[in-house]
Chain A
Amino acid sequence: MKRLLSNKLYIAIFVAPALILFIAMGVVPLFITGYYGLFDYDGIGKKTFIGLQNYIDLFAADAYFLKSILNSFILAAGSLFVQLPIALLLAILLANGVKGEGFYRTVFFLPVVISSMVIGQLWCKIFNSDGLLNAILGFFGCTDDIAWLVNSKTAYMTTVIPAVWQSIGYHMVILYAGVKNISPEYYEAAKLDGATGFKAAMKITIPLLMPTIKVSATFALVGSLRVFDLVYVMTGGGPNHASEVPATLMYDNLFVKCRYGYGSAQAFFIVFECLLFSFLLNCIFKKSEENASAI
């Protein structure tokens, strides 16, 4: 069996089509982007080579970039520690067969299907100074009528909450499929040991689900570090750059300010950052995966 699975030709046939296409259309453009980052370039006219200056400027001369990275960390924390646990809970509940499983599974996914433009508009209305949130707060006697979206202290949080919420359904689907993929035999074995319900979930489901949880966590982390849509729709990075994330700054430089070289450098940095943090995540998960294989 091992011989069959070590056959170089078979490996090539399995991996080459996807790999070649991805390198040609994904990796090459990425490195061209990194290359553009070495130039003072407006996106149309002539390019002037300036070496690593753009990459140095990211931290030496950009008043907002560092702050934007910190902002994206807040979202990453929210995604990993709020969004994923909720998604996992829902996935386990649904996969263990509640009445109306299909209904819940569909409804919970709906926010993922709807365009971020619509979701953003809706949340803007909720956070508006005469919106739903203040109405609820008013009901409890808090009548400050804070303008959440345009207050530099609260603006970024107004985008984090919808972003964390919107993707719950997304991760629920991945994790749900993972739970469904666990062979019932494990549960039967656990039952003999007297583990059911919550205990079985902790002892069997979660350890066996680790590979899938890792995938979800990677998506959540990387998705947070390069988040764009909701922030762009809801605050556009404002007021006064308080809610910038790396991708909104990058977008402005690429398409609004015509600083194409600098925007490219930001893009390249975002990829580097994502790679670094998913490597760290990988290390954290390695241990738990070893535990899982012991079952």
Chain B
Amino acid sequence: MEINFNKIKRVLIYVFLLAFTFIQIFPFYWLITFSFKSNTEIFDSNNLMGLPKVWRLENYSKALMGGNILHYLLNSVLYAVLTVVIATLLSAMAAYAINRMYWKAKGIVAVIFSLGIMIPVQATLLPLFQGLDMMGVRRGYLGLLLPYITFAMPMSVMILGGFFKSLPREIEEAACIDGCNIFSMFFRIIFPMIKPGIATACIFTFLNTWNELLFANTFVDSAEYKTLPVGIMSFVGEHSTNWGIIGAGMVIATLPTVVIYLMLSKQVQESFTVGAVKG
């Protein structure tokens, strides 16, 4: 009886997971079919979900060849990688100080960072634009990098904060006895222990930076510094737009994020063993 009950439970779990898989995969399927269609099919009210009648591969060649898409792709990689590295490092240090160190103002500093996830970015567009102009950095890579890093930090600080909190105190005590200095303790011992948190923060920072559109549209002046989403949107015309090309562009833009996610979330999965090794 006991075994049977477990079996039923396991079957139920898999049925649930498979049903959920179907729901979650559907938008991606839809985006892919959309990227091979023409407008008359995409917006045809009687054929919302079906496969394209004609597979329009040219949507992809047009998306890749029209405009500077490859250059924009490289720019997006640059922005995303630098933002991920710098923002995650700065946030990890700040989150550590807020959650593990002893000082009076840490509560206030935590609140200040939490403001970052509350600010409606559309409203800061103009003040930020003016600020970047005043500093003279708007017309270069820094013009986007600084806002990206800034607005990536609050979320990372909060995510990592949760992970720092759950570490046992004994870790630092053990490290202290070994005569470790604070930097090597942080980078050698603490940092690896919150690898799942770091990987998670990296995933979201990458995703947000990669897909960001409003700042990229408004702060950048020259095609040299433009990002991939801006490049994709340039296919939107004033009166008519070939949405299949936009769809193709979006598929192209989505693939790197899926790959990055696969890589980073694997780090999370494997962390089990790493987390088990006590400092």
Contact = CB atoms under 8 A, between A and B. Distances in A.
Interface in A169-200: 169-170, 173-174, 176-178, 180-185
Output the residue of A18, A108, A111, A247 with the most chain B CB within 10 A: A18
Q: Is the interface of B mostly helix, strand, loop or mixed?
A: helix
Interface stretch (B20-28, B60-68, B69-77): B20-28
A162 B70 CA distance: 32
B184 to A, nearest CB: 12
A108 B24 contact: yes
Nearest to B21: A107
Q: Is the interface of A mostly helix, strand, loop or mixed?
A: helix
Given A5-B102, A32-B127, A181 B163 contact: yes
Interface residues of B, number: 95
A271 B155 CA distance: 15
Nearest to B185: A4
A169 B272 CA distance: 21
Contact of A111 (B24, B157, B165): B24
Interface string A228-272: 100000000000000000010011001100001001101110110
B155 A219 contact: yes
A152 interface: no
A11 B93 contact: no
Contacts of B111: 275
Interface in B93-109: 93-94, 96-98, 100-103, 109
Nearest to B49: A132
B10 to A, nearest CB: 9
A8 B102 CA distance: 9
Contacts of B112: 19, 22-23, 27
Given A26-B115, A98-B17, A173-B265, A118 B194 contact: no
Contacts of B257: 113
A150 to B, nearest CB: 14
Those 7 A-B pairs whose CB atoms lie nearest each other, nearest first: A267-B123, A274-B118, A29-B127, A14-B97, A177-B196, A25-B150, A32-B127
Interface of B: 13-14, 17, 20-21, 23-28, 30-31, 34, 45-46, 48-49, 90-91, 93-94, 96-98, 100-103, 109, 111-120, 122-128, 130-131, 146-147, 149-151, 153-155, 157-159, 161-163, 165-166, 172-173, 176, 182, 186, 194, 196-197, 199-200, 203-204, 207, 211, 247, 250, 254, 257-258, 261-262, 265-266, 268-269, 271-272, 275-276, 278
19 contacts: A15-B109, A22-B116, A26-B116, A27-B112, A36-B126, A108-B20, A111-B28, A113-B207, A114-B254, A132-B48, A165-B23, A180-B196, A180-B272, A181-B163, A226-B118, A247-B120, A264-B123, A270-B120, A278-B118
Given A105-B269, A177-B199, A181-B163, 11 more contacts: A8-B103, A18-B90, A19-B109, A28-B127, A28-B131, A102-B265, A109-B265, A110-B27, A222-B118, A268-B123, A270-B118
